[in-house]
Structure 1
């Protein structure tokens, strides 16, 4: 367990080892405090981004940012299940077109990708419901903006209060100096989570340590692009005091030393918590389905795959009902009440008031006779079942 304590006017990092307190050097001075929902700032001359990233609650969260990382100083949101309240984190790469210096997505089959690694040190508290995790994003295209649709690789160094990954456990792997439970689920993209079986206060690895395993299991592809490496926390409650420092991404093949788990124990929540499911997109299943429509050799069907208090995930299946392959397609609908599109993947969209038109993107416009393709969306507001109209060219 790690904690930050104050001695006179100097803040120092402390680690509890065998009941004693071991002091390290002075902590970095606070450079800025972020409290706005999606506030972010660049550190180390733009090499990295620190983001508050509050997306699962309207309650206040604040983080103190230094040049080395951040600490959560206020976290008022409480989610008892489903999605976490936020993912305050450090970023290398691009997050919704907010990019670090000169970054371009990196093809997973390239020699450059083979050399990429990362390391971070975490500070934990002794209560609440949360995980300490990396979030590594991949997309079929060299995407810099919007929601990635390939794979989300999560690396859990620690967790507390009953937090568990999206999906279910599918295996176990020994890599990057530890043993990890492997979980798989899908949130419109593949979510592959590696949960360390013994908590670690730091992580040092090469991205291929985990990505190669995901490819071998059929959850990722070498033709996809790495778009960002992020490290932070997903709190459901009690996140105050969680922090991260010494974050770095290496590009010279030097990553992959054994994580430091000396003196680190699994924090115990101060209250009994119901196990929850996590990912950076909400994960509570809603079996609702919507009505579909067919015109112009095209049929569309709709279902809500996940929902939570303030939003939901919807999935649309577009089927070619004609006699030849489509050259493109569009799906139109009008939300029944108060919904607002937050993001969409595997389709582009135009929105006018409550009316949405989703169109194919470059790689899924051609659908063979009798075949289908799908696209997904994250929506703010209560779950809804719109009536769809599909047209194909």
Structure 2
């Protein structure tokens, strides 16, 4: 770096000399500050090397399916793949998963993370992602959400949710397609299967999504509704990156953010709407659209009492042969038998005289019938 030597006119007298000295010092300091570079990017070429960005997220190279060299460069806001040698068969596993994460992955926990967190204590988990894609590679851009029955910080979790933001080349998710679902206001092709160590539920975008802000819990609740997790399980990590099969240099996570909002109380707060002994008064309207082997149900729960109902839960029994495949505006668990619809963050409170609506899609066998009754936070509801 070339040293800048500003010229300062020689003053007269001692005070002038001191003033000039301070002026010289200030000018040099300002020039040095202006020329100081931003924090240098960090290149990682070790197969499982990691580094921290933004003081809160971990970038990992995570090369596990190939012995060829892969390097990622961590930036202030994400990472980019700078070298991606080798290839893997497109009918098998990818060669790596370079990614950035919040939470815990094989004992490595991101600084200050709120994860693992029990699902029924999480009100929302907002996240933002911006991807940079390339055309001369075979890969998917995958956002992974990991769930486990325990607050596990090491090893493989029981259920993996994958959100495929983009796929290039002849690759497909684990398992087989099981239909479509609307989650987070978008329509997805849904695949379900397992890889021998954990269950995998994949939501595949019909076209590339370069950036999106969304609530991770929308996908978690959709997974619980399908019976692949329970409300007393734990969210252990959220990760955004790529699964390359061939090449991959130039792929980038331009930016990533993830937070988890919890109330700290398993099962939420006391569902009692008022003083001890208060019982909610309610009415439920339940409408269906039925076709051969499938149906949708739309329900409206009205609070006919004088006190608000907080953290509402509507219990009912699905007739034999019916099974919930996905739900909206509520979490419906388990997927069959005696189920409970639970309000989500934006509709968890029902004011007196007001109502909330939710719905779900399902399958059935035999003769289709509707549930015989409903209970709101333990109280029987009227049906029109």
Q: Could you tell me the TM-score, scaled by structure 2's length?
A: 0.56
**What's the offset of the Cα at 1:55?**
0.5
Name the counterpart of 1:108.
Answer: 119
Q: Secondary structure at the match of 1:42?
A: strand
CA contact (8 A) 1:136 1:228 kept: yes
User: In structure 1, what is the Cα distance between the partners aligned to 2:86 and 2:240?
Assistant: 20
CA contact (8 A) 2:175 2:193 kept: yes
Aligned residues: 223
1:171 to 170, 173, 179: 179
Q: Secondary structure at the match of 1:209?
A: helix
Q: Secondary structure at the match of 2:224?
A: helix
Two-structure CA RMSD over aligned residues (Å): 1.7
User: In structure 2, what is the Cα distance between the partners aligned to 1:158 and 1:177?
Assistant: 17
Name the counterpart of 1:182.
Answer: 190
Change (3 A) 1:56 1:165: same
**What's the offset of the Cα at 1:128?**
1.5
Name the counterpart of 2:168.
Answer: 160
User: In structure 1, what is the Cα distance between the partners aligned to 2:230 and 2:86?
Assistant: 36
Name the counterpart of 1:79.
Answer: 88
**What's the offset of the Cα at 1:102?**
3.2
Change (3 A) 1:245 1:29: farther
CA contact (8 A) 1:170 1:183 kept: yes
User: In structure 2, what is the Cα distance between the partners aligned to 1:230 and 1:174?
Assistant: 21
CA contact (8 A) 1:95 1:228 kept: yes
**What's the offset of the Cα at 1:107?**
0.5
Q: Secondary structure at the match of 2:172?
A: strand
**What's the offset of the Cα at 1:203?**
2.4
Name the counterpart of 1:144.
Answer: 153
Unaligned runs of 5+ in 1: 1-27, 254-393
Q: Secondary structure at the match of 1:213?
A: helix
Larger % of strand: which? Answer: 1
Q: Is 1:56 aligned to 2:56, yes or no?
A: no
User: In structure 2, what is the Cα distance between the partners aligned to 1:252 and 1:161?
Assistant: 37
CA contact (8 A) 1:114 1:207 kept: no
Q: Secondary structure at the match of 1:165?
A: coil
Change (3 A) 1:127 1:30: farther
User: In structure 2, what is the Cα distance between the partners aligned to 1:147 and 1:97?
Assistant: 11
Aligned 1:308-319 pairs, distance under 5 A: none
Name the counterpart of 2:128.
Answer: 119
Work out which of the two has the higher radius of gyration on C-alpha atoms and give 1 or 2. 2
User: In structure 2, what is the Cα distance between the partners aligned to 1:34 and 1:71?
Assistant: 11
**What's the offset of the Cα at 1:173?**
1.0
User: In structure 1, what is the Cα distance between the partners aligned to 2:225 and 2:93?
Assistant: 28
After superposition, give the CA deviation of every residue in 1:187-210 in whole Å (9 maximum; x if it has no partner). Answer: 222100000112110122111211
User: In structure 2, what is the Cα distance between the partners aligned to 1:233 and 1:66?
Assistant: 16
Larger % of helix: which? Answer: 2
Q: Is 1:244 aligned to 2:260, yes or no?
A: no
User: In structure 2, what is the Cα distance between the partners aligned to 1:212 and 1:146?
Assistant: 23
Q: Which runs of 4+ in 1 moved over 3 A?
A: none
Change (3 A) 1:159 1:106: same
Name the counterpart of 1:268.
Answer: none
Unaligned runs of 5+ in 2: 1-37, 263-384
Aligned 1:342-353 pairs, distance under 5 A: none
